[in-house]
């Protein structure tokens, strides 16, 4: 690789990191809402409920990541907390997608597992993912509270969630980076509170 190419590449890396930092600087405006989200999830888990998480692509990876932090551990040795990524059962995912359509994959899984008092964490950078919106509708039918993680506009999810955390960015990558930052903050706070419960 030439010196010029290396320099360009380093400059691009710095641009990406600076974009990340600029969006991260806007997160304090969401701190009170993130605290509210922690309260909602804590109330459910402390009462024996569960956190169900839905998302596609990178958001699906975040869903599994956060479920793993809660069922395993984040920082503390403690009991496991009930959390599940709705796409985790690939046989169910593909069967439901084949038999009912991809837009039903999360709604059908939620309908099978959800109980009143549970919480759905719905993740969509656009706020308009059809299968996530259907999961929100199913959550309403099952008396499940809904917390949304979205991008700048919030999309259709904005008005459908009990609480919607919209990242002030249009960049999918930057939005996803902030979603996992928020998710880690929630895991840390939940772990401390639930370990004492």
Give per-residue pLDDT as tens, 64-77: 999 999 999 999 99
Please report the pLDDT score of residue 196 as a whole number. 81
Sheet holding 163-166, edge to edge: 83-85, 51-54, 119-123, 145-150, 163-166
Is-contact 172 23, C-beta < 8 A?
A: no
Residue 188: CB atoms within 10 A of its CB come to 15
Going from N- to C-terminal start, the domains of the chain cover 30-196
What's the token pair of residue 59? 């958001």
**Topology of 30-196 in CATH?**
Rossmann fold (3.40.50)
Give per-residue pLDDT as tens, 132-153: 999 999 999 999 999 999 999 8
Please report the pLDDT score of residue 136 as a whole number. 98
Parts of the chain with a pLDDT under 50? none
| Distinct helix (H) and strand (E) counts, the chain | 7, 5
pTM over 0.75: yes
């Amino acid at each position: 690789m030439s010196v010029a190419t290396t320099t360009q590449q380093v400059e691009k890396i710095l641009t990406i990191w600076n974009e990340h930092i600029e969006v991260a600087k806007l997160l304090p405006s969401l701190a009170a809402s993130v605290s509210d989200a922690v309260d909602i999830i804590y109330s459910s888990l402390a009462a024996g409920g569960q956190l169900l998480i839905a998302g596609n692509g990178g958001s699906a990876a975040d869903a599994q990541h956060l479920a793993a932090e809660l069922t395993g551990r984040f920082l503390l040795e403690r009991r496991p907390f009930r959390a599940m990524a709705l796409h985790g059962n690939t046989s169910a995912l593909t069967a439901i997608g084949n038999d009912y359509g991809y837009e039903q994959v999360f709604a059908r899984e939620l309908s099978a597992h959800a109980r009143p008092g549970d919480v759905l964490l719905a993740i969509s950078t656009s706020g308009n993912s059809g299968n996530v919106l259907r999961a929100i509708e199913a959550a309403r039918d099952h008396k499940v509270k809904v917390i949304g993680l979205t991008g700048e506009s919030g999309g259709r999810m904005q008005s459908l969630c009990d609480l919607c955390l919209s990242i002030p960015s249009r960049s999918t990558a930057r939005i996803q980076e902030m979603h996992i930052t928020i998710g880690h903050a929630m895991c840390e706070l939940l772990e401390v509170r639930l370990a004492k419960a």
